[in-house]
A and B are shown apart, each in its own frame.
Chain A
Amino acid sequence: MHELSIAMSIVELAQEEIEHRGGRITAVHLKLGALAGVVKEALLSSYEMACEDTCLAGSRLIFEDVPVIVFCPNCQAQRSLSSVQWFCCSECGTPTPEVVQGKELQVVALEILE
């Protein structure tokens, strides 16, 4: 359960941002890759805990899910996966370990009430 550590990092990052911008954060938009190793439900409840007694108390965490995209050496193109248990090109079936996206864990935006 490392979601609490992650949630605290999100809160810290948002606090740093708001410090030099001013205003009140009402929501944090997070890009979450399917291979980021984070459980969304656990992160949501951890986020609520991490926000307590901070200027982010009561704010929402909004997820932007990022599916895994791999590069297929056979098609020479970016392809989706049918499952994270099966790293094969969804078009031709060639196995590939080359992850193009899906590991994201990034705060993309803040909703700020001024």
Chain B
Amino acid sequence: MTREPRLVEVRKNVLKQNDVVARGLRGRFRAAGVFAVSLVSSPGSGKTAFLEKTLTLLRPNYRVAALVGDLATENDAVRLARSQAPVKQITTGTLCHLEAAMVDKALEDWDLNQLDYLFIENVGNLVCPSSYDLGEDLRLVLISVTEGEDKPLKYPTIFHSADVVIVTKTDLASAVEFDWEAAFGNIQAVRPGIPVLRVSAKTGEGMQEYLEWLGTYLTEVGSAAV
């Protein structure tokens, strides 16, 4: 009998279970023809206001719905419901991020075939959501002008898990002397080439350009998938 431990090779991804569920979700989204878009940002960067505006603007022409993750309250779901779109809250308790299984469970009684767009608002957090694939086609990372220009340098990982950067609250940019050049430089330093869009959910500035960009991007994803 040997007293020395034996080294046994395993090579398994720690988040394989989440990845399997996320792959399943992605397949279901594709099959139903629904485009899934998730939003990540730090708390207070304006995700909910931005999403409410998005839902309101898309709703006349598309069938839209949203899932919203929150630690404890249902405030965000109540706000989003004002857009008249179907909204469901995922209360995560103390968990700081959404996982694919939570999305899967929340969608249990929804018919995906009745949707064109599904938005998934993650819990406000720029660290934890980066590790979890939710099966989405597109991940938006939001940073508001009031947070300062150096967020990308502090949280490079989340910028590598996202497909586009949305700079929010642009109506406040001059009040907080937001340095666009520095912000753009920092974003490009951590993720060269990532598209950057500017919006104000309050004034509506940039929203139309963003929706056009979204439409073009998702058409490309759709035709690539065919």
Contacts and interface: CB of A to CB of B under 8 A. Distances in A.
A95 B192 contact: yes
Contact of A97 (B96, B131, B192): B192
Interface in A99-114: 99, 103, 105-114
A49 interface: no
Chain B interface size band reads 35 or more
Interface string B138-171: 0000000000000001001110110000000000
* B contact patch SS: mixed
Contacts of A26: 5
B131 A107 contact: no
B97 interface: yes
* A contact patch SS: mixed
A102 B96 CA distance: 23
B15 interface: yes
Contacts of B191: 87, 97
Interface of B: 1-3, 5-17, 95-97, 99, 127-128, 130-132, 153, 156-158, 160-161, 188-194
Interface of A: 1-2, 5-6, 9-10, 13, 17, 21, 23, 26-27, 29-30, 35-38, 84-88, 95-97, 99, 103, 105-114
